[in-house]
Structure 1
Amino acid sequence: MPIDLRSDTVTVPTQKMRDAMRDAVVGDDVYGEDPTINQLERLAAEIVGKEAALFVTSGTQGNQVAVLSHTQRGDEVILEEHSHIFYHETAGLATIAGVQARTIKGVNGQMPIPEIVSAVREDDVHCPSTALICLENTHGDSGGRILPLSYMEEVFQVSRQYQIPVHLDGARLFNAAIGLGVDPKEMTKYTDSVQFCLSKGLSAPMGSILAGPKEYIKRARKWRKMLGGGTRQAGIVGAAGIIALEEMVDRLQEDHIHAKALAEGLACIDGIDIDAEGVETNMIMFFIDKLGVDAGEFIRQLNKFDILANPSGPFRIRFVTHRGITKDDIDRTIEAVKHIAAKKVNI
């Protein structure tokens, strides 16, 4: 089997999840009659401290439903310039929600507070209305960096001052919670809505959760239906989601330990530019421009060692640890990079 460091989305369900999926009690979720989905939504809402929750087919669908439920066409949304909602959701803000993105350059995913304040539109006939602030925790493009609680609180205070809701793209919310050593509620209390994935590190085969106030989730349910997310006997996959939330959160710490070990090993290799101290969760970003090869060639060299990875720029590589990665895999990857770097540095 290859060492697959492309993403934690490659995780497969556990045997217990497969058994639960086989035996799940199901019904028509569009009618609200799937008992397993109903159980999952109650559990998810309780975990993040919200009144209600909605099962959606993916994180992208969850984020788009969230925006639709907070905004009207022609509104403006404030978000970080490399946020997943803006950068990796195929222009859904514009094409689906019909809203305008107001992007702000962040540092490790954190938009400067004064710039958020400056981005809030005045009541002017020439301007769109600022309808939503979006945060992402952990922040993927920054290498899985965690937004501190103090920062989330500051953003929330600004949002209250201007009466603008905050949506959290928490695709890897539990990685952030484990990294901070806090209950997820300590983060989500500074949000009006939150989306988080059941797949990725939690290993469910599919699905995400959108959570928020009851009336908000009622609107979201209708938008989900419009987007084709009104599933029928969804409890078959929802059963795996329940196990993901009940049994798979604490083990994320192992992924963080592996990522830190990998980063520290890479930091000792000539030609690899990495901030090992900045690795906070299960994601690693590093630069290879000093090796004299681009990301595509570097990954082709990795493939010869049966290692899979993704580029994150012309000279930037991303590694993501997950349940399928062992300590031996980490050691083998470090040795492979040493071999590739030695060849390229000596050219």
Structure 2
Amino acid sequence: MTNVQTLPRVAVDLGSDTSTRPTKAMLAAMMAAETGDEQLGEDPTTTALNERVADLLGKEAAVFMPSGTICNQIAMLVHTRPGDEVICGAGAHVYGSEGAGIAVMGGALIRPIACDRDIFDADQLTAAVRRPKMRAPRSRLVVLEQTANRGGGAVWPLAAIQSVAARAREHGLAVHMDGARLMNACVAAGVSAKDFAAPFDTAWIDLSKGLGCPVGAVLAGPRDFIEAAWVWKHRLGGALRQSGILAAAGLHALDHHVERLAVDHENARIFASLAAAIPGVRLDPQTVETNIVFLDLSATGIDTAILYRRLREQGVRIMVEGPTRMRAVTHLDVTRADVERAAAMLAQSVEAGPT
């Protein structure tokens, strides 16, 4: 196995928008943060962030968490009981990228819906809801991911969200939003976070993806839900104590890093257009709505592990999603020149052939 330490430094990192590093201004805000004990409600910076996100999403209360995965897991743990079932898109993060956490910790199941770009409609939801039977799991919760990562960063349209949420309630289901890239959706669609979140019982936003923070996410919902979420937060690791140092990064990001997400989207479209012109690379640049680009490399005859190695040798990282599929994600630390370089290196790597 190749020792990655022998590879050059990553100069253009399109692996994920979690690759960002805090800006100097963000670091300064973190160093200047007023702190206290989060568990006692005495960290003023964390309290300010929670209140800001609750208002942003139009919810009663919010709680700062170490990650979006923990937000999803705790939300599902509060909404469900052992033997319940959670419905989501087949490509959803809660289904394929969270270690089956809800099954391990909560005894609940995931029921995935196969759908185009990981966006399903109300009728598909109805088809997935189980009729109550003594011997069947009980459908309890619907999770929508905004944006749909495995759908190529597709934005759930507000009308589609409203339709699915209304149908869910007809079936007596709660509705939760995985808002990992909610702010990308807001900027791309011109819809406020409050409007996107309104149909949901609970929602969260990630701070460590497009917003560029080193750590964190904030989960919001009704006050009694947040009280129950705090119980699970303690069970899964406890309070963060002087969390204001981290919360300050989130406040800085909300002040300075939201509108600039449009730059990431434009860079993704540029990369997609350049990549689509490479013989053997299949993708439709018109489908790129936000900051995620999936590349179908099946026609090149080259295993993506080989392409990954070739790109890394040139200081470029694009992640492998399967033997014929790769994913590139633009973010705060990626410029137009970077995506142009990455596309040029991809073309060179593909031109080298299968061996």
TM-score range, shorter chain: over 0.9
Specify the alignment match of 2:143 in structure 1. 134
Whether 1:58 aligns to 2:53 is no
Q: Match for 2:85: what amino acid? A: E
The equivalences for 1:18-97 within 5 A come to 18-97=27-106
* Closer, same or farther: CA 257–175 of 1 in aligned 2, 3 Å: same
2:353 alignment partner, SS class = helix
Alignment of 1:101-180 (within 5 A): 101-180=110-189
Structure 2 distance, partners of 1:121, 1:30, is: 40
- Distance (Å, rounded) in 2 between the aligned partners of 1:137 and 1:271: 30
Matched, 1:259 2:268: yes
Q: Secondary structure at the match of 2:280?
A: coil
C-alpha distance in 2 between matches for 1:34 and 1:203: 22
2:283 is matched with: 274
Is it true that 1:293 corresponds to 2:302 in the alignment?
yes
Q: Structure 1, unaligned stretches of length 5 or more? A: none
Per-residue deviation, 1:229: 4.0
| Shift >3 Å, 4+ stretches | none
Q: Taking structure 1 as the reference length, what is the TM-score of the superposition?
A: 0.97
- 1:185 corresponds, among 194, 219, 224, to 194
C-alpha separation in 1, matches of 2:11 and 2:191: 34
- What letter matches 2:334 in structure 1? I
Shift of 1:119: 2.0
Q: State the identity %.
A: 38
**Matching of residue 16 in structure 1 with residue 28 in structure 2:** no
Q: CA deviation at 1:118?
A: 2.1
Q: For the Cα contact (< 8 Å) 1:137–1:171, is it kept in 2?
A: yes
Secondary structure, aligned partner of 1:317: strand
Secondary structure of residue in 1 paired with 2:233:
helix
Equivalent position of 2:5 in the other structure: none
Amino acid in the other structure paired with 1:269: I
Residue 185 of structure 1 deviates from its aligned partner by 1.3
1:335 aligns with 2:336: no
Tell me what 1:213 maps to. 222
Structure 2, unaligned stretches of length 5 or more? 1-9
Q: Equivalent residue of 1:330, what SS?
A: helix
Of 303, 308, 313, the match for 2:322: 313
Provide the alpha-carbon RMSD of the alignment: 1.3
What is aligned with 1:99?
108
Tell me the distance in 2 between the aligned counterparts of 1:285 and 1:39. Answer: 37
Asked whether the equivalents of residues 121 and 163 of structure 2 are also in contact (C-alpha less than 8 Å), the reply is no
Shift of the alpha carbon at 1:267? 1.1
Q: CA deviation at 1:128?
A: 2.0
1:222 aligns with 2:219: no
TM-score (norm 2): 0.95
Q: What SS does the corresponding residue of 2:147 show, helix, strand or coil?
A: coil
Aligned residues: 346
SS at match of 1:260: helix
Tell me how far apart the structure 1 counterparts of residues 58 and 238 of structure 2 sit (CA, whole Å).
Answer: 24
Q: d(CA) in 1 for partners of 2:81 and 2:346?
A: 49
Q: CA deviation at 1:332?
A: 1.1
Displacement of 1:104 in angstroms is 1.0
Q: 1-side partners of 2:62 and 2:12: how far apart?
A: 35
